[in-house]
Amino acid sequence: MERDLGLEQLQQGIYAAFKSWHKTDEGDSPFANLVLFRQQQNTTPRKATNKILFQALESLSLTHRQEAALLSRHFLDGEKMQSIAHEKNIGEATAYRWQNDAIAQLAHVLQAHEREARAQRQSILAKRLERPTYTQLIGVDSQIEALLVVLLAPGPPWLIAIEGLGGLGKTSLADALLRRVIDECLFDEIGWVSARQYDFNPGRGLTPRQEPALTAEQLVEKLIEQLLPDTPRPDSFSPQKALALLETRLKQQPHLIVVDNLETVVDLEALLPTLRDLSNPTKFLLTTREKLPYESGIYHFSLLSLNEADTLQLIRHEATLSNPPYLQTAGEAELKAVYQVVGGNPLALRLVVGQTHFFTLPTILADLSAARGKQVEGLFTFIYRRAWEQLDEMTRHVFLAMPLVADGQGNLEHLADLTEIDPASLRDALTWLVTLNLVDRRGEAHDSYYTLHQLTTTFLHEQVLRWQ
Ligand SMILES: Nc1ncnc2c1ncn2[C@@H]1O[C@H](COP(=O)(O)OP(=O)(O)OP(=O)(O)O)[C@@H](O)[C@H]1O
Ligand SMILES: [Mg+2]
């Protein structure tokens, strides 16, 4: 879907468009990949093509009157080149050279028109996104590339889920992807709905959002508001009618639609089949803390935490932005100590950097380990509370045993010994913990093990005891 704006291509397109100016059949438009073309609605491809060409010609005549007149006489009015050459007292070869030069000029004009159309379109689409929380995303390039391949594939999967623990950067990754899609005009249409209920800001702490948890119906409503703001609503606007309206739109044209924090949608079981119906050719990019069911048609993308090098880079980047005392001069060993306690969770890392305006690094890390202070408590509540409350006794027991396992050693046998739980129940518990992204499954297909994010280990150290 990517659109090239090369001058040579535009020249060829212009020539082809001139040649077919008078044709009555509706072939493929040489301008089909231009935003200018996509913007023309309620018209035929031929008329749309001719209109684009004519407007470019009109602009050209303001600066290059002779050139515009030559093209118009030859291609639009059908005058023979020979007679034009004769009138101008030049050879026919020269006349053709003039024609080529004029087309080259016209390509510049068309390029400028297309750039302007794109810029306008991009600013409209970007308004549908939320304000980004980051200035620069670290360590995400390969994930962006991998996801773009899936999103831009012309066929399935239609539902793509970015899954992972709170604060890992799912929303930020989706935001970066959509900004890329907008910048490069990879989809004509995008949408963004959020089901998020709480915000956690490293400086201000935990704040609930005004709106209650979203239902599937409300989500459809929100998308209609965003994508069809000017469509009149009938008086009796039932949920079925709303859905049909949205479906017509999403089937007509491929959209890329993000549903952020899908896990908090009230009736998720009802929503998933709806999303499936609405998809193709439209794609849905979903972010969720809880893994979606492993049914056919959902592509699961697990977001991992940052590695040590990226963690250090993130801390240094945050430090340059907010300039807390001492942090900029902190040595590598001190920053590595942060990684030991927090791991590569960007949200938690930003909290730590924010705290260095008030306290020393060792104090902050000790507070985190001991779950001391409002900020720390807020962070743990934000990331873990909802998941923790969904665990039964047995699963909590397994979860609490996880920090006792050395890294890489947590296979099924070892965990069964450690927790003294029968294999079937242990499997159930692990399934649930992995689904909630509280525990990660790693390793090879034949030799896998279960492990915790470093932040989760820290959380289990103290905070969880208060919730028991
Ligand atoms: N790769 C990254 N580099 C720098 N900052 C990041 C990165 N990823 C996330 N952040 C920052 O970390 C914070 C948490 O990110 P984000 O909100 O995207 O996480 P999330 O996975 O969507 O969390 P939640 O489950 O709560 O929705 C944000 O302030 C964001 O700007
Ligand atoms: Mg999010």
Q: 387-415 pLDDT, tens per residue?
A: 999 999 999 999 999 999 988 889 999 99
Cα–Cα distance measured from residue 363 to residue 340, given in angstroms and rounded to the nearest whole number: 14
Question: Which mutation among 141, 172, 303 tests ligand 1's pocket best, with the greatest number of atoms within 8 A of CB?
Answer: 172
Positive or negative torsion for Cα 449, 453, 458, 464 = negative
Q: Which ligand is nearest to the CA of 172?
A: 1
| Closest ligand, as measured to the CA of 141 | 1
Q: Are 191 and 226 in contact (CB under 8 A)?
A: yes
Q: What six digits make up the tokens of 26? A: 């509706």
Tokens of 388: 């923790």
Ligand 1 touching residue 170 (CB < 6 A): yes
Ligand 1 atom closest to the CA of 164, numbered from 1: 21
Q: What is the position in ligand 1's atom list of the atom closest to the CA of 198?
A: 26
Q: Is the pLDDT of residue 372 over 60?
A: yes
> Which residue from 129, 144, 171, 321 has its CB within 8 A of the most atoms of ligand 1, so it is best to mutate?
171
> Whose structure tokens read 């005009």?
185
Report the percent of the chain where pLDDT is more than 90: 79
370 token code pair: 């001991």
Phi/psi of residue 16, each to 5°?
A: -60, -40
Q: Indicate whether residue 191 lines ligand 1 (CB < 6 A).
A: no
Atom of ligand 1 nearest to the CA of 201: 29
Taking CA atoms only, the protein residue closest to ligand 1 atom 2 is 137
pLDDT classification of 274: cutoffs 50, 70, 90: very high
166 CA closest ligand 1 atom index: 25
The whole-angstrom separation of Cα 48 and Cα 36 is 9
Burial letters 47-71, b for 16+ CB under 10 A, else e: ebbbebbeebbebbbeebeebbbbb
Counting ligands in written order, the one closest to the CA of 169 is: 1
For range 340-353, the mean pLDDT: 95
- Do 364 and 350 meet the contact criterion of CB atoms below 8 Å apart? no
CA distances from 36 to 30, 126, 460 (A): 12, 18, 56
* Helix H or strand E encompassing 190: strand 189-194
Q: What is the mean pLDDT of residues 110-119?
A: 95
pLDDT score for 22: 92
pLDDT at position 1, please? 38
Is the pTM higher than 0.85? The answer reads yes
For residue 139, which of 285, 315, 292 has the smallest C-alpha distance? 315
Phi, psi of 86 (to 5 degrees): -60, -45
Residue carrying the six token digits 């020269």: 94
287 C-alpha to center of ligand 2: Å? 7
Flag whether pLDDT at 26 surpasses 80. Answer: no
Taking the C-alpha atoms of residue 189 and residue 326, their distance in angstroms, rounded to an integer, is 46
The reply to whether ligand 1 has any atom less than 6 angstroms from the CB of 261 is yes
Ligand 1 centroid to Cα of residue 256, in Å, is: 21
| Element (DSSP H or E) covering residue 175 | helix 170-183
pLDDT, tens digit (0-9, with 9 covering 90-100), for 50-71: 999 999 999 999 999 999 999 9
Amino acid, single-letter form, for residue 338: V
3-state SS, residue 419? helix
Does ligand 1 have an atom closer than 6 angstroms to the CB of 134?
Answer: yes
- Look at 182-186, 237-241, 283-287, 316-320 and tell me which has the smallest mean pLDDT: 237-241
- Find out whether 357 and 202 touch, Cβ atoms under 8 Å: no
Count other Cβ atoms within 10 Å, centred on residue 338.
Answer: 24
Atom of ligand 1 nearest to the CA of 349: 12
Nearest CA to ligand 1 atom 24: 166
* C-alpha closest to that of 291 among 412, 437, 400: 437
User: Measured in angstroms, how far is the CA atom of residue 3 from the centroid of ligand 1?
Assistant: 30
State the pLDDT at residue 204.
Answer: 80
Of all residues in the chain, what percent carry a pLDDT higher than 70? 99
Report the pLDDT value the prediction gives residue 232, as an integer from 0 to 100. 79
| 354 pocket-lining for ligand 1 (C-beta < 6 Å) | no
Amino acid 432: pLDDT: 97
The runs of H, that is alpha helices, within 291-343 are 308-322, 332-342
Q: How far is CA 468 from the centre of its chain?
A: 37
Cβ of residue 305 lying under 6 Å from some atom of ligand 1? no
pLDDT at res. 438: 97
| Ligand 1: centre distance to CA 290 (Å) | 16
Q: Tokens 């001391």 appear where?
A: 372
Grouping H, G, I as helix, E, B as strand and the rest as coil, residue 8 is: helix
**CB of 169 closer than 6 A to ligand 1?**
yes
